[in-house]
A and B are shown apart, each in its own frame.
Chain A
Amino acid sequence: MKPIAQTQADILILGSGGAGLLAALHAYDANPSLNIILAVKGLAGKSGCTRMVQGGYNVVLDPQDSHEKHFLDTIKGGGFINNQELAWTLVTDATRIIHELENKVGCFFDRRPDGRVHQKAFAGQCFDRTVHRSDLTGIEIISRLRDQVFARKVRILEECRGIDLLIRDGRVNGVLLLDIRSGEPFIVQSKAVILATGGGAGMYKISAPSKEKTGDGAAMAFRAGALFVDMEMMQFHPTGLLAGNSQLTGSVLEEGLRGAGGYLFNAQGERFMERYDPERMERSTRDQVARASYREIMAGRGTVNGGVLIDMSHLGAEFVERTFPGMVDRVKDIGKDLAREPIEVSPTGHFHMGGVKIDKECRTNLEGLFVAGEDSGGVHGANRLGGNGVAESTVFGARAGDAAAVYVAEHTFSPIDEDQAKALWEETRKPFRRSRGEDPYRLSQELKNLTWEKIGVVRTKGDLEQALGKLSEMAEQAQQVRASGSPAFNLEWNEGLNVRNQITVARMIAKSALVREESRGSHFRLDFPQSDNAHWLQNIFLKRQGEKEMQIFTKAVDFSRLRPEEVV
């Protein structure tokens, strides 16, 4: 085997969503002489979910609002198991970063009649604090960020995916990557790696994320020995569009619809939220509404296609068309009219609150590895508020960039373990030698169904144990997938790499979900339907042990700023 091509970067960033791009901008601006590489699985600024943000960005701007209020909403929404230091960092930094986005990066957010920035209502929050640009906010944020990265000397490698982190003497010192276009491997030797690839919610049968998000970052970090927190916490957005076999299925109809006063009905015409959260009704948090919808559907009160109905028509067609043009447009694609008739929706796999444990500087338990955005865990606890996602990716992306710039000034390159890289690459290309191997698409389909049924909205001990058994079989099968033809731009081969990573993440979810014998936030156990504050104000930590096992332990939440009993 010929040697694998090698290149060098002070900082290697994986991912070009909000976290990756902010990391690049901040690292570069901290020290323009740094050699920074940004590797993206898709096209720069086009892959990932920041671009798909519809609703907006939660941030305290109004004098009548406060960081304390935003913090309290975030902690309450998170079922009190958030890392409070991270949550506090989120709400306080967000105010600074939104100004940076508008005044320096150039985003042009929507205004009020008096010229000030408009903030709209979002569910689960005591104040209207969601900054937006119409109902497709992400396009503006990510496009302007990408434009700014273009203006700086950052090397962008498109359609290059991370295969595995490289480690020497306990320190992450580079990454083995695959150039998807050529099918060739290469190594980036780096002083610091910033992981910002996004989560793995796409593994669910009905799900919202973009195609590239297959838990690559989490799976790579797991294999490298990173410590994870609260992996059972997977959010289902309550209003995913149902569109038959179309890829449109699962795409999110934004939270603002409920914020603006949209109703949810079951097939019998009942506003079923009355039974689950009579006070907040449809403006309850995502976890509550998703679970309520799921239970209605499972109880046989759903539509024939397995959904419930969101109805905006009582708000007036003209209002809906003016306020939610993007949503109206999307629904039109399935031949329906959001402004005038009820639309079938279902809970949809959306966002992973769990992830690699980080500190405020996005450092991890692995030297040289920084993690930001959805690959990290702890900020949102058991449930993320709508509008806190893009706030997280930009706030912590910026922090990761700042921290990595400082870190690399104090560290040197360490030599790559070429044998390790070669062995990893041998394994990666093996599918081409298996003409009778497993079909990665079949495996992926099987995983989608399994995750949806066994580790989805409603969980039980029996289901989780079954899922774990099945997942370890599937992990073996994923080692036996096949690929055919040329390695260049080979989607089948990449699907095999995707599903392997997704299975790794699914196992972490199932394992943590089995341990948490209570219900909290997005994690609902039918056999333990209540929140158990006496025993479960705990975080669940998990890391790899040996080749196939996981080490798992719990630790009481550190209420460093606010105790649950202090909240009325």
Chain B
Amino acid sequence: MGSFLNVTVFRYHPGTDHSPRTESFEVPESKQMAILDVLTYIQNHLDRSLAFRFSCRIGMCGSCALFINGRSRLACRTLVEGLGTKIIRIRPLPNLPVIKDLTVDMTPFFDKYEKVKPYFIANEDREDFYLVPEESKERDLVDKMLECITCGACFSSCTMVTTNSHYLGPAALNRAFCLIADKRDGAGDERLRLVNGPEGIWRCHGQFNCMEVCPKKIIPTWSIQQLKKRCVFRKWMGMG
């Protein structure tokens, strides 16, 4: 230890600043230091005007996703040591408007999320729990894709989102898949219609950028693939 990190941080306050700039800071490295600790150090000791966002600090809330050394990741789960360099560049998530410095407005992300009707709609009024055996296929399909923390890392890394601002994006489509594959839900057909279009699943070109950056190891590309299969099947069966 005793070494320093060279940290370059994006600074911009729209409406106040003419244009974005970057600033560099020397930060003393400490044991088990995450990017969140780096930012906290800068904020508390070097520049109090720096704005960034975090909440749970243990990878459960998805508030602190940032573009760190060329890749979207959670600040709280990104260890300095794991970056393999002392030179660190931190920018806000791409594809989202900046509020101030490293904080972005998540509205475009959630607007799209809301478009797929992300909320569960029970297929019947049920008194008791739906029986779904632990190891069953119907559970397994949903299980692996369920833990999305809506951090926006996938959305910010998807080139299809960058080139078409109307594209629903990986997180929204993954959520749609979770509900469509969920036997308890009754609005699958409607959701399938919502995602079956040029700005839905067909915009995905299977580049897997989303999978690479997901801190929860979700594979939205796979979910989208499942949705495509279902749409093709329906067409083939003459179900529209």
A interface residue numbers (CB < 8 A to B): 42-43, 46-48, 51-52, 99, 102-106, 108-118, 133-134, 136, 138-140, 143-144, 147-148, 150-151, 181, 210-212, 243-248, 251, 329-330, 333-335, 441, 484-486, 488-492
Contact = CB atoms under 8 A, between A and B. Distances in A.
B48 A491 contact: yes
A108 B182 contact: yes
Interface string B1-43: 0000000000001001000000000000011111011001001
B60 A114 contact: no
Contacts of A104: 120, 122
Nearest to B125: A103
A118 B61 contact: no
A43 B64 CA distance: 11
Contacts of B54: 211, 247
Nearest to B100: A489
B55 interface: yes
A212 B63 CA distance: 12
Given A111-B134, A113-B134, A150 B139 contact: no
Nearest to A251: B58
Interface stretch (B145-153, B160-168, B221-229): B145-153
Is the interface on chain B under 10, 10 to 19, 20 to 34, or 35 or more residues? 35 or more
B56 A246 contact: no
Interface in B43-82: 43-44, 48-63, 76-77, 79
Contacts of B190: none
A52 B114 contact: no
Contacts of B96: none
B129 A117 contact: yes
Interface in B164-184: 175, 179, 182, 184
Contacts of A42: 53, 55, 61, 63
B63 A43 contact: yes
Contacts of A484: 48-49
Could you tell me the dominant secondary structure of chain B's interface residues? loop
Contacts of B184: 103, 106, 108
Nearest to B117: A151
Nearest to B124: A103
A181 B99 CA distance: 7
A118 B134 CA distance: 9
B25 to A, nearest CB: 16
Contact of A248 (B48, B57, B127): B57
A345 to B, nearest CB: 14
B238 interface: no
A249 B191 CA distance: 42
A334 B182 CA distance: 36
Contacts of A102: 129-130
12 contacts: A46-B56, A52-B60, A52-B61, A103-B122, A115-B131, A115-B132, A139-B60, A147-B119, A148-B120, A210-B56, A245-B31, A491-B51
Contacts of B49: 484-486, 490
A158 to B, nearest CB: 8
